[in-house]
Structure 1
Amino acid sequence: MRFALNQMGFPAEDLESNAELLADAGYDGIEPNLTADGPLWDDDLVDDFAAHVDEIGLDVPAVSTTLHWDRPLSSPDAETRAAGVEAGKRMIAVADTLNADAVLIVPAVVDETTRYDEAYDRALESVGELAAVGADAGVTVCVENVWNDFLLSPLEFAEFVDEAAESGPVAAYFDVGNVRRFGRPEQWIRILGDRVERVHVKDYRTDIDTIDGFTYPLEGDVDWEAVNAALEAIDYDGWVTAEVSPYRTAPERMPPRVRADLAHLFS
């Protein structure tokens, strides 16, 4: 396994400082997020970041984003949906520059204005459009399971990935903690099988049963031994990226601790 940290847990303001902290902590990679007004929209800054991570010996496993909550790929509004597709295309371009071969995509948001069946069709079309772009760049569009009231079973998740992959490289970015609220991550992993291209890890406390239940690995109710066994069963030996919040005080102390726990869990 190779270990990375997502931008959600970065303790410093700028990407370069976080990269240096992660390299010092023994991480193999750093996973930046495309944000509404962040540096990944600037080609020169992306080039500088690419040179910096190369210099200090880090890789970029994927480019992530939170923009698809505000610009859903399943939105009934064509302009909103198009904005989400453009964000995805920018992620692919950035991934290409950073020598990352994956992007993390939230495929849909089901809510009171977006019916499930319509969301499925629009998401399939949008992800397919991004997959065609990704094919040209050598970047896989990885669909993540999130709390979006969509793809609520591993069987449906697998079917969606297979359908979308008819347009280009599409896979699963499987988030262990996101499933624990309503399912068993180890079961999802075995069902998704070789569709799993990337893995996010965090833990979840079922006694809280809200978004506040998310916590650091080893502090919740995920059966990590079963998760590790399931990953071994599907011959997964790729990136494991922690997606956790920084500490409220001394945030720079979180990444080294989580890195040590990842080694304990997956070595």
Structure 2
Amino acid sequence: MQFALNQMGFPADGLGRNAELVADAGYDGIEPNLTADGPLWDDDSVAAFADRLDELGLAVPAVATTLHWDRQLASDDDATRAAGIDVGERMIELAAELGAGAVLVVPGVVGESEPYDEVYDRALNSVRALATVGAEHGVTVCVENVWNDFLLSPMEFAEFVDRASASGPVGAYFDVGNVRRFGHPEQWIRILGDRIERVHVKDYRTDVDTMEAFTYPLEGDVDWPAVEAALRDAGYDGWVTAEVPPYRTAAERMLPRVQSDLSYLFS
């Protein structure tokens, strides 16, 4: 396995400085997020970041974003949906530039005024459109399981990935902690199998019914030995990326601790 840290855990300002801290903590890679007004919209900043990564010996497992919660790929508003496609296309360009090979997308959000079946159809069309662009750049569009009330079983998730893959490379960005709220990650892994292209890790406490339930690996109720065994049985030997926040005090101390725990769990 190779280990990386998502931008959620960055303890400092600036991509370059955080890359240095990630490298010093022993990670193999760093996963940046495309934000609304961040440096990844600027080509010169991206080139400088790529150069710094080369100097530090770090790779990029994927490019992520939270923008698809607002610029939803399955919105019933044409302009919003188009904005989401634009975000996805920029992510694909970045992934190609940074050698990432994958992007993380939230395919859609179901709500009281967003019927499940309509979200499904629009999400499928949008992911297929991005997969076509991804194929041109050698980048896989990875759909993540998140708390969006959508694709709520591993069988449905697998079917969505398979249907979207008709237009280009599409896979699953499997988030271990996100599943524990309503299921068992090891079961999802065994069903998704080789559809899994990337893995996010965090833990989850089942005795807490809020977003505060998320915590650092080994501090919650995920059955980590079962997860590791399921990934091994699925033939997965790729990127495992921590998606956890920095400590509130001495923020940088989180990085080496979590890297050590990942090595313990998956090496």
Instruction: Tell me, yes or no, whether TM beats 0.5.
Output: yes
The answer for the alignment partner of 1:248 in structure 2 is 248
Q: Name the CA distance, whole Å, in 1 between partners of 2:84 and 2:175.
A: 21
Report matched runs for 1:106-125 at 5 Å. Answer: 106-125=106-125
**Pairwise CA RMSD:** 0.4
1:170 is aligned to 170
How do 1:205-220 residues align onto structure 2 when only pairs under 5 Å count?
205-220=205-220
Aligned to 1:105: 105
Tell me the TM-score normalised to structure 1 length.
0.99
Rounded Cα–Cα distance in structure 1 between residues aligned with 2:85 and 2:235: 32
C-alpha distance in 1 between matches for 2:48 and 2:202: 30
- Residues 123-168 of structure 1 deviation map (CA, whole Å, 9 limit, x = unaligned): 0000000000000000000000000000000000000000000000
- Any residues of structure 2 matched to 1:42-81 within 5 Å, and which? 42-81=42-81
| Cα deviations by residue, 1:67-115 (Å, 9 ceiling, x for unpaired) | 0001110101010000000000000001111011000000001112211
Give me the whole-angstrom Cα distance separating, in 1, the residues matched to 2:121 and 2:195: 20
Q: After TM superposition, which residue ranges in structure 1, 4 or more long, deviate above 4 angstroms?
A: none
2:18 alignment counterpart: 18
Aligned twin of 2:263: 263
Distance 2:75 2:225 in 1: 38
Opposite residue 28 of structure 2, the aligned amino acid is D
- Name the SS of the counterpart of 1:143 in structure 2: strand
Deviation at 1:182, TM superposition (A): 0.2
TM-score by length of structure 2 reads 0.99
User: What pairs up with 1:214-233 in 2 under 5 angstroms?
Assistant: 214-233=214-233
2: CA distance, partners of 1:48 / 1:114: 41
Structure 1 residue runs of 5 or longer lacking an equivalent are: none
How many corresponding residue pairs? 267
Q: Which residue in 1 is equivalent to 2:236? A: 236
Q: Distance in 1 between the 2:176 and 2:151 partners?
A: 15
Whether 1:135 aligns to 2:135 is yes
Residue identity in the other structure for 1:116: Y
CA shift for structure 1 position 197: 0.3
CA shift at 1:211, angstroms? 1.0
Q: Distance in 2 between matches of 1:71 and 1:113?
A: 16
CA distance in 2, matches of 1:199, 1:249: 27
The offset of 1:209, in angstroms, is 2.0
